[in-house]
Chains A and B, each alone.
Chain A
Amino acid sequence: ETGVTQSPTHLIKTRGQQVTLRCSSQSGHNTVSWYQQALGQGPQFIFQYYREEENGRGNFPPRFSGLQFPNYSSELNVNALELDDSALYLCASSPTQDTLGGYTFGSGTRLTVV
């Protein structure tokens, strides 16, 4: 059984650019959640997708958007990048919408905005 995989592992972008991060969910999981972890902070919830629909959103501006595909893989898109968007972006998949069992995270994408 494959786990959660994210790509790319590292990325450097310039302020104002757009970026797309990708996540392949664990086999059998229909829910994907995205988190942003800035240096020295805990992960912050961005949004969750369940069966291709957004199922909850944290306190992030609309320039953070996402998609979930029929195979339950997901993308996180960030437009008009700002320096403060530099962070580790984590994806987690789960077999259901609830979080009672905790999450298994992918290894993350480290985004640096210069």
Chain B
Amino acid sequence: RKEVEQDPGPFNVPEGATVAFNCTYSNSASQSFFWYRQDCRKEPKLLMSVYSSGNEDGRFTAQLNRASQYISLLIRDSKLSDSATYLCVVNAQGYSTLTFGKGTMLLVSP
């Protein structure tokens, strides 16, 4: 089982749509969770951290279910500029490394 698994993509949605990305992780000792965004041929950039209580940043909402080892990202009112690959990222306490999922590509069309 891969350490971090994400929905295979790509997701093709029209502008204004709501889209959800799912992610599962295998290491129950994981302590920190993130969503990164990566534009084509660019470096990944931190989109948001994910907290146990869930958190929201504008049109973006992240949820964490530790019991199910499941993370989600919801994007409301999609914009063309949201087109990118979204990477689910976790780390485990005591581990000096972040583990990335393969990423899910989002394509928002007019």
Contact = CB atoms under 8 A, between A and B. Distances in A.
Given A100-B91, A102-B34, A102-B89, A107 B98 contact: no
Interface stretch (B11-19, B62-70, B100-108): B100-108
B57 interface: no
A65 B103 CA distance: 27
Contacts of B89: 102
Interface residues of B, number: 24
A72 interface: no
Contact of B97 (A58, A105, A106): A58
Interface in B74-96: 87, 89, 91, 95-96
Interface of A: 31, 33, 35, 40-45, 48, 50, 55-56, 58, 88, 90, 97-108, 110
Interface of B: 4, 31-32, 34, 36, 41-46, 49, 87, 89, 91, 95-103
